[in-house]
A and B are shown apart, each in its own frame.
Chain A
Amino acid sequence: MGAGAQALTHAAELLVTLDPGLVQIVSLSLRVSFAAVVIATLAGLPLGATIAVARFPGRQVLIVILNALLGLPSVVVGLAVYLLLSRAGPLGSMGILFTPSAMVFAQAILVAPIIAALSRQSIEDAWREYEEQLRSLGAAPVQAGLTLVWDCRFSLLTTVLAGFGRAVAEVGAVMIVGGNIDGVTRVMTTAIALETSMGDLPLALGLGFILLSLVLALNAAAQVIKEAAQHRYG
């Protein structure tokens, strides 16, 4: 039996038996990444919309920086957040290092630039189309921004999903700030890394399949919603 087939068998076994360890890991992965994306969206979306609509000095520089941050290595974020949250660091007194909260924090920092950069792009495209009409109707910049966000809601859904995909799939940051503690901060990706280092490659790959299927299912659902909405709303 090849490694791929073994991995599939493993994945199927874990799913069929609804392995409690697996359920916990998957649920923590989803909760942490979901919370991170919510926070990243709250921060990134207004930023993206502002850059899309407003004209100010340094705007181009900001766009370049944001786009560059799309490639931010997650270990760097992990390390920075670790130093920030470490007892010896400026936010050490909160005592949240090696907890899911720290992982949410790190992932939110990782994802916020993605949401900001991608939403900036779609909102700016829409702004080009809407600008004269909205200004003619007397929309103030903030109002225009909100209207654009609402009108771009379906393409922004894709943006948010892209952010979620990055969050749920990254391992560098959560490994450092979470510590991969069994039952506390172990998520899909760190579990995969652990199984890999224990040489259980089929199990690691099996977990990988499960992660992939989750992300796939989520994206498929979003795509269906988007198609239906686009058809309905035009």
Chain B
Amino acid sequence: MQTLLPLRLEDLCFEARGRGIIQGISLEFEAGSRTVILGPNGAGKSVLLRLCHGLLAPTSGRVVWNRSGAANGRHRQAMVFQRPVMLRRSALANIAYGLKLAGVGRSERQARAQRALEELGLAQLAGRFARVLSGGEQQRLALARAWALEPEVLFLDEPTANLDPAATREIEAAISRIGAAGTKIIMVTHDLGAAKRLADDIVFLHEGRVLERAGATRFFKGPASREAAAFLQGELI
């Protein structure tokens, strides 16, 4: 099968109520690395992620996948949201639901869902109802639901923003494992700690524009832009 990546953004713009949220972004995401989109609140990070995933349509510009008709291959991408949305059914059934929509046959669904739960350390919660799980467990379940789809690209929007440190560690460990298994990770965060722990390379976003694109080590050592430097200093920009 032809791979989805690289993903190319061509002069992408997005306006809402006359305000330019994303103002002319051109970028390319290669397979393999874990890319973190970093920036202060309101920089347009989440919107950019949704444009990439196809949840929003750009006002102008294009999102181009290597394989044409990638929208039909939606299940080759997956997304985990800041607040996990769980269906009123068991943890296992939540994962199986995603697989069903991806066209996975009934018999295979159960096995794959079970494997995904085990992978995220949730096997003992399989029969529990998803909505009564703790926030950390729900987010891990959301990750399991995404992982079960065996996506080529996994988008993550502030996946640990609402979690306590222990839950955050578990999620980040899982993201690392998924990345290591060959899935392209594209994660949005405004949390410097998370970015340092997970990023191979950084896209620094500010007021709807990409100010910097660099390897993580280089970026954290010496950012090129004044805004990125200020952000790293913990200033409010």
List, in ascending order, chain B residues with CB within 8 A of A153's CB: 88
Chain A interface secondary structure, helix, strand, loop or mixed? helix
Shortest Cβ distance from A144 into B: residue: B101
Question: A138 with B75: in contact, given A143-B101, A151-B87, A233-B132 (CB under 8 Å)?
Answer: yes
Q: If the complex has contacts A138-B74, A138-B102, A233-B131, are A133 and B85 also in contact, measured as CB distance less than 8 A?
A: yes
| Interface size class, chain A | 10 to 19
Q: Chain A residue with minimal CB distance to B98? A: A137
Residues of chain A with a CB closer than 8 A to B53's CB: 136
Q: Are A234 and B97 in contact (CB under 8 A)?
A: no
Is residue A232 within 8 Å, beta carbon to beta carbon, of the partner chain? yes
Q: Mark A221-234, 1 if CB is under 8 A from B, else 0.
A: 00000000000111
Residue with the greatest number of chain B CB neighbours at <10 A, chosen from A130, A150, A232, A234 = A234
Task: Scan residues 132-169 of chain A and give those whose CB is less than 8 A from a CB of chain B.
Answer: 132-133, 135-139, 143, 147, 150-151, 153
Structural contact, B129 and A233, CB atoms closer than 8 A: yes
- Note all chain A residues with C-beta closer than 8 A to B132: 232-234
Cβ distance A126 to chain B, nearest Cβ, rounded Å: 10
Contact A232 B129 (CB under 8 A): yes
A182 is an interface residue with CB less than 8 A from chain B: no
CB distance from B167 to the nearest CB of A (A): 18
CA distance A150 to B53 in the complex (A): 26
| Interchain CB contact (< 8 A) of B129 among A136, A137, A234 | A234
Using Cβ atoms and an 8 Å threshold, which residues of chain A touch B74? 136-138
The closest CB in chain B to the CB of A148 belongs to B87
Max chain B CB contacts within 10 Å: which of A135, A136, A139, A150?
A136
Chain B positions within 8 Å of A150 at CB level: 88
Q: Is the CB of A147 within 8 A of B87?
A: yes
Contacts of B78 in A (CB 8 A): 136
A residues in contact with B102, CB < 8 Å: 137-138
Q: How many residues of B contact A (CB 8 A)?
A: 22
What is the chain A residue whose CB lies nearest that of B102?
A138
Which of B75, B81, B89 is close to A133, meaning CB atoms less than 8 Å apart? B81
Q: Are B55 and A151 in contact (CB under 8 A)?
A: no
Interface 0/1 of A168-182, CB less than 8 Å to B? 000000000000000
Beta-carbon contact of A137 and B97 below 8 Å = yes
Which residue on chain B has the smallest CB distance to residue A151?
A: B88
User: Could you tell me which residues of chain A, from 94 to 152, have a CB within 8 Å of some CB in chain B?
Assistant: 129-130, 132-133, 135-139, 143, 147, 150-151
CB distance A136 to B87 under 8 Å?
no
Complex contact B88–A136 (CB within 8 A) = no
**A136, B130: Cβ atoms under 8 Å?**
no
CA distance A129 to B82 in the complex (A): 12
Q: With a CB–CB cut-off of 8 A, which chain A residues contact B129? A: 232-234
Give, as a whole number of angstroms, the nearest-CB distance from B202 to chain A: 24
Check: B203 CB closer than 8 A to any chain A CB: no
Contact, CB under 8 Å: B55 / A234: no
Closest A residue, CB atoms, query B103: A138
The verdict on A136 contacting B131 (CB below 8 Å), with A129-B85, A147-B87, A151-B88 known, is: no
CB distance from B88 to the nearest CB of A (A): 5
The CA-CA distance from A233 to B79 in the complex, in Å, is 24
* CB-based contact B85/A138 at 8 Å: no
B 65-82 to A, binary, CB cutoff 8 A, 1 in contact else 0: 000000000110011010
**A132 with B55: in contact, given A137-B101, A233-B131, A234-B130 (CB under 8 Å)?**
yes
> Does A234 lie within 8 Å of B131, measured CB to CB?
yes
Question: How near does chain A come to B178, taking the closest CB pair, in angstroms?
Answer: 16
**Cα A147 to Cα B102 with chains together (Å):** 15
Complex CA–CA separation, A126 to B3 (angstroms): 35
Residues of chain A within 8 A of B98, CB atoms compared: 137
Assess whether A234 is in contact with B88, with CB atoms less than 8 Å apart. Answer: yes
CB distance from B147 to the nearest CB of A (A): 13
Chain A residues, CB < 8 A from B85: 129-130, 132-133
User: Which A-chain residue is minimally distant from B83 (CB atoms)?
Assistant: A129
A-B contact pairs, 12 of them (CB 8 A): A132-B55, A132-B79, A136-B53, A136-B55, A137-B98, A137-B102, A137-B145, A138-B74, A143-B101, A153-B88, A234-B130, A234-B131
Given pairs A130-B87, A233-B89, 18 additional interface contacts (CB within 8 A) = A132-B55, A132-B85, A133-B81, A133-B85, A136-B53, A136-B74, A137-B97, A137-B101, A138-B74, A138-B101, A138-B102, A143-B101, A147-B87, A153-B88, A232-B129, A233-B129, A234-B86, A234-B130
